[in-house]
Structure 1
Amino acid sequence: MTREHQIKLEEGDEKNDSALILTNEKPVYSIPWRSSLRQIVACCVAHSLVIQAGINMSFSAILLPQLNEKSSDIHISKSEASWIASIVAIALPAGSLIIGPLMDRFGRKTLCICTTIPFAISWIIHAAAKSVWHLYLARIIAGFSGGLTTVALVYVSEITHPNYRTMLLSLNSVFVSFGILFTCVLGLWFPWRVIATINCFLVLATLILLWFLPESPHWYTVFKNKPDQAAKSLEWLYKDPQIFENQLRLLDTSAKNRRKSRIDWSFYKESVVYKPFFILFVIFVIQQLSCGYVIIFYAVDLFREIGGHFRNGLDEFVALVLLGSIRFVMSIISALISKRVGRRPLFFVSGLGQCLTSLVAGVYMYFTVIPPDELAKLSIHKDKGDNIALYCVLGYVCFSSLGYLVIPWTLIGELFPVKVRGVLGGLMVSIAYIFMFVAVKIFPFVLDLIKIQCVFYVMAVVNLCGVIFIFFFLPETLGKTFNDIEAYFKRVG
């Protein structure tokens, strides 16, 4: 994009205070906060699906320690524990791969509703489990359901105004973080079977709320050619008559351009498809190698590894709640400031912060394994009950929740063209969770092979590489329409 012209339209009626922005001679109307409230409500309801995805991640951190207690009626080995933690991730690609064609055929809202059903089934099986194989089955279904939640990202990207899309897509990670925190807090007071029952009622509440949402207007126009239905959806989203007319006109123009050419294999060879796919692929590899999700899956075990009992009455379970709280608060901050800051600056702060905290953690842990007499020769005195390692890990979670654990998922709804967003979005989520499965599955065995400080050294190097990659390859998407983003990749292709 070579230039941007902004023209403020002065309207006599204060209610119609929208602004017209000409970007490359293509109009995009900005809207005030009060006119975006319905979008915000719809996005929050759709994103409530991914609360379950967050619960899936953190549930193993509660489940595994309780199963290892002597009083548990189900006993597991180390290998079985790693399968319980990781099997969710390997089951996710199945849901992500099939959700694309299904949402294109039956609609975004319909598939959001259908996604709640397997989630409810998985929690019922959890609550009634009598053996480790029942837990495997429940976790597989939960993972499959988590893959289906890709539809929420696509739905939100298609019902939101460009001025608010970045922020509202970022709510995805806010709700994932809420699911993590919700599980961590419940784990302080309830056994895992009771938590499973509570989660079942939570997902049923989501199902009820989803009934009241409109279908995606983009789906009606691009896949069904039903302009009347699309207009009804837009009318629900934009109560202001003038803003509604503006958005309807933009939608009609955009839909006509996309229907001019049919989707065939040659389209996947265009730069607007393979370039964002390459960028997202590398970003998700870096995301998983940075071990942000590994820390969440094995939080209690990791806290035990670095000390277990800390100062000021902290233990690993209180530290787990702190982790969930930090993840939740930082994801909210990321969502709020993303409307003004953009993707690239958040990525830079996140990556450099993770690099620093993991490096400090690795160096500190190196000194803690040196014998006390050797430390005395170096004039270093270590307090056995200090919290330095804990603060480093929590700081790492803080920075990762600002960028690397949040932004990649929202980019799926922005970088891919609308025509292939459902299919390639599901494929990219599948790839991401395959990486997650490998990382989570092998982590306990990696700790048997190398010292934990070496793991943190690797994390520091990975995050530094991530910052370099973002600097050179990721474009800024803040305030850009889908047409602007596609035009960028056509120019750089």
Structure 2
Amino acid sequence: MAEKIQNAENEIGEQSSLVDDSVFVISNNSYRKPLNITWRDSYRQILASCIAQSLVIQVGINMAFSAILLPQLNEQKSDIKITKSEASWIASIVAIALPLGSFIIGPLMDRFGRKKMCILTTIPFIISSILFTFASNIWFIYAARIIAGFSGGLTTVSLVYVSEITHQNTRAMLLSLNSVFVSFGILLTCILGLWLQWRTMSLVFCGLIVLSFIGLFFVPESPHWLVVFKNDPNEAAKSLRWIYSNNQIFEHQYQKILESRSSTENTEIATESSKLLRIRNNLSIYKNPVVYKPVIILLLIFFFQQMSGAYVIIFYAVDLFREIGGQFGRGMDEFVALVLLGTIRFLMSIVSAIISKKVGRRPLLFFSALGMTVCSFIAGIYMYITALPQSELDRINVQKNERNNNVPLFCILGYVTFGSIGYLVIPWTLIGELLPVKVRGKLGGVLISMAYFFMFFTLKSFPYILEAVTLQHLFYIISIINLLGFAFLYWFLPETLGKSFSDIEKYFKRK
């Protein structure tokens, strides 16, 4: 094994001079010095990232499609009639299927590659769109929703792929595009739903995923995967050469990949003579602090994210607006609510992606968590005050004013705004930054599966929670959860902006 590793490293060293005769040769230590990367040097990785993350447009479509589909199926002219129970299954069955796709994509992307699995992920989406287009009964719709949810879980591969082809100075911004594309899928579905019938919309969505399918053939494979899993330095060098036309940056990133690979191999056993030892070694990697520490941190971040109610507010926007009341809620239908919240999330996710290149993960998450805490607390306080009789308010010199009825509504919009800057965006992208390459596929899928389980639990239990406690007390609870989430982020989340994968691993090795 040791001899193989040495031969592979010699081959990699030779390859750096064979790829291009004009490659800038650097000293053994100079690659550690940070290199500035310009937009001209970044355009190829930006293009590849956008093509890969166009897959998650379909995830946003999955979230919003039931809001368009169910009202149209309930119309008298609909050729498919559904009951109330069937409608609830159509809405929720996607969330049940999502974790399965996220769970199995990890081993598949490690075995067959990031690019290949991105391409294969488009196939179930196409099948789902075809089933919707030619649906003749409720079972076609069930099957289409299950396949769409399963495919949505598979799109985890796009996050891993983008994290491995991007430069450390642009990685944060390009990973944040994941939320931009999800938000675009939500917004596109709501807008098309104002004019198109659901079968016609399915054809449009099928056309979008076919474009993604074609585009993925023109992007390179992850160089990290080629080195760590395939031990193929030739293909890794070709992949990096596609990404970086600048010779100095190419050589710098090449050496960084070797460093990351070497740190991974330090955890492997030096002999292959015993199958039992290999199995024990494969399990022992999960005892490494560079693995279990980020896993615990990410798991708890996803817990706080889902318990914060950010997704609940988006999914139950209409019910919340009607529960709160106010002039803004009168006559508002689900399409207006979804378009409004979808627009806010889309715009703020763009803002988050733009500023993430200069502002670290921690400041954005701090700002988001504190903003959500304040908005939910103000909403709870205001609802408590307005629920008091006027005689009680006179004691503290407060007069009820009908023009202020919209305060809780604006707090909810502010809550979604702050959430879209950090809490709804960054946790998903941290998977591609905190986890080591060797386990990123497997554990990334497991973590996203857990996040979807948390999401399903909160969405399913929210109506019952609302029956058990008043809305104002619910806002208090959410405010406390967000404050606890802020404290956890402050104490345990490291900053990843501008850090290489090896730098991040070194952080978790510290006691």
| TM-score, normalised with respect to structure 1 | 0.89
The partner residue of 2:469 within 447, 450, 468 is 450
- 2:158 alignment partner in structure 1: 152
- The separation in 1 between residues aligned to 2:27 and 2:465, in whole angstroms, is 55
After superposition, the Cα gap between the structure-2 partners of 1:84 and 1:54, relative to the gap in structure 1 and judged at 3 Å, is same
- 2:430 alignment partner in structure 1: 411
| Contact preservation (8 Å) 1:308, 1:316 | no
- 1:387 alignment partner in structure 2: 406
- 2:109 alignment partner in structure 1: 103
- 1:463 alignment partner in structure 2: 482
Give the partner amino acid of 2:228. V
Deviation of the 1:374 alpha carbon: 8.2
- 2:317 alignment partner in structure 1: 299
After superposition, the Cα gap between the structure-2 partners of 1:372 and 1:124, relative to the gap in structure 1 and judged at 3 Å, is farther
- The separation in 2 between residues aligned to 1:279 and 1:92, in whole angstroms, is 22
| Contact preservation (8 Å) 2:267, 2:285 | no
After superposition, the Cα gap between the structure-2 partners of 1:307 and 1:481, relative to the gap in structure 1 and judged at 3 Å, is same
| Contact preservation (8 Å) 2:226, 2:236 | yes
Output aligned runs, 1:315-394, within 5 Å.
316-366=334-384, 380-383=399-402, 386-394=405-413
- 2:305 alignment partner in structure 1: 287
- 1:12 alignment partner in structure 2: none
After superposition, the Cα gap between the structure-2 partners of 1:42 and 1:20, relative to the gap in structure 1 and judged at 3 Å, is farther
Deviation of the 1:333 alpha carbon: 1.0
| Contact preservation (8 Å) 1:366, 1:453 | yes
Deviation of the 1:28 alpha carbon: 4.2
Deviation of the 1:33 alpha carbon: 1.8
- 2:12 alignment partner in structure 1: none
- The separation in 1 between residues aligned to 2:328 and 2:468, in whole angstroms, is 26
Give the partner amino acid of 1:419. K
- The separation in 2 between residues aligned to 1:304 and 1:72, in whole angstroms, is 27
- 2:90 alignment partner in structure 1: 84
Higher mean C-alpha deviation, range 362-371 or range 181-190: 362-371
- 1:191 alignment partner in structure 2: 197
Give the partner amino acid of 1:280. L
- 1:226 alignment partner in structure 2: 232
CA distances 1:243-302 after superposition (whole Å, capped 9, x unpaired)? 223322332343344334436111101111111111111110111111111222233333
| TM-score, normalised with respect to structure 2 | 0.86
CA distances 1:360-395 after superposition (whole Å, capped 9, x unpaired)? 223334456667898899864343895333322111
Higher mean C-alpha deviation, range 125-134 or range 375-384: 375-384
| Contact preservation (8 Å) 1:51, 1:179 | yes
Give the partner amino acid of 2:223. P
Deviation of the 1:78 alpha carbon: 4.9
Output aligned runs, 1:416-455, within 5 Å.
416-455=435-474
- The separation in 2 between residues aligned to 1:356 and 1:367, in whole angstroms, is 16
- The separation in 2 between residues aligned to 1:88 and 1:61, in whole angstroms, is 13
| Contact preservation (8 Å) 1:311, 1:385 | no
The reply on whether 1:247 has 2:281 as its aligned counterpart is no
The reply on whether 1:112 has 2:118 as its aligned counterpart is yes
After superposition, the Cα gap between the structure-2 partners of 1:189 and 1:21, relative to the gap in structure 1 and judged at 3 Å, is farther
CA distances 1:183-212 after superposition (whole Å, capped 9, x unpaired)? 222222223333222212111111111111
- 2:218 alignment partner in structure 1: 212
| Contact preservation (8 Å) 1:61, 1:300 | no
- 1:13 alignment partner in structure 2: none
Aligned length: 475
| Contact preservation (8 Å) 2:67, 2:334 | no
Q: Which entry has the higher C-alpha Rg, 1 or 2?
A: 2
- The separation in 2 between residues aligned to 1:77 and 1:294, in whole angstroms, is 24
The partner residue of 1:481 within 487, 497, 500 is 500
- 1:31 alignment partner in structure 2: 37
Deviation of the 1:229 alpha carbon: 0.7
Of all paired residues, the percent bearing the same amino acid is 61
RMSD of aligned Cα (Å):
2.8
Higher mean C-alpha deviation, range 143-152 or range 52-61: 52-61
Give the partner amino acid of 2:201. I
After superposition, the Cα gap between the structure-2 partners of 1:132 and 1:44, relative to the gap in structure 1 and judged at 3 Å, is same
After superposition, the Cα gap between the structure-2 partners of 1:454 and 1:133, relative to the gap in structure 1 and judged at 3 Å, is farther
| Contact preservation (8 Å) 2:324, 2:409 | yes
Output aligned runs, 1:55-74, within 5 Å.
55-69=61-75, 71-74=77-80
SS of residue paired to 1:264: helix
- 2:131 alignment partner in structure 1: 125
Higher mean C-alpha deviation, range 285-294 or range 303-312: 303-312
User: 5+ unaligned residues in a row in structure 1: which ranges?
Assistant: 1-15
- The separation in 2 between residues aligned to 1:55 and 1:424, in whole angstroms, is 26
- The separation in 1 between residues aligned to 2:27 and 2:93, in whole angstroms, is 49
| Contact preservation (8 Å) 2:259, 2:502 | no
Deviation of the 1:144 alpha carbon: 0.7
Higher mean C-alpha deviation, range 259-268 or range 274-283: 259-268
Higher mean C-alpha deviation, range 341-350 or range 436-445: 436-445
User: 5+ unaligned residues in a row in structure 2: which ranges?
Assistant: 1-22, 269-280
After superposition, the Cα gap between the structure-2 partners of 1:42 and 1:176, relative to the gap in structure 1 and judged at 3 Å, is same
| Contact preservation (8 Å) 2:321, 2:329 | no
After superposition, the Cα gap between the structure-2 partners of 1:361 and 1:68, relative to the gap in structure 1 and judged at 3 Å, is farther
| Contact preservation (8 Å) 2:326, 2:409 | no
After superposition, the Cα gap between the structure-2 partners of 1:105 and 1:201, relative to the gap in structure 1 and judged at 3 Å, is same
- The separation in 1 between residues aligned to 2:99 and 2:91, in whole angstroms, is 16
Give the partner amino acid of 2:310. G
| Contact preservation (8 Å) 1:127, 1:193 | yes
The partner residue of 1:48 within 54, 68, 77 is 54
| Contact preservation (8 Å) 2:45, 2:166 | yes
- The separation in 1 between residues aligned to 2:189 and 2:389, in whole angstroms, is 38
- The separation in 1 between residues aligned to 2:335 and 2:404, in whole angstroms, is 16
Deviation of the 1:131 alpha carbon: 4.1
- The separation in 2 between residues aligned to 1:289 and 1:311, in whole angstroms, is 25
SS of residue paired to 1:129: coil
Give the partner amino acid of 1:453. Q
- 2:275 alignment partner in structure 1: none
The partner residue of 1:278 within 262, 285, 296 is 296
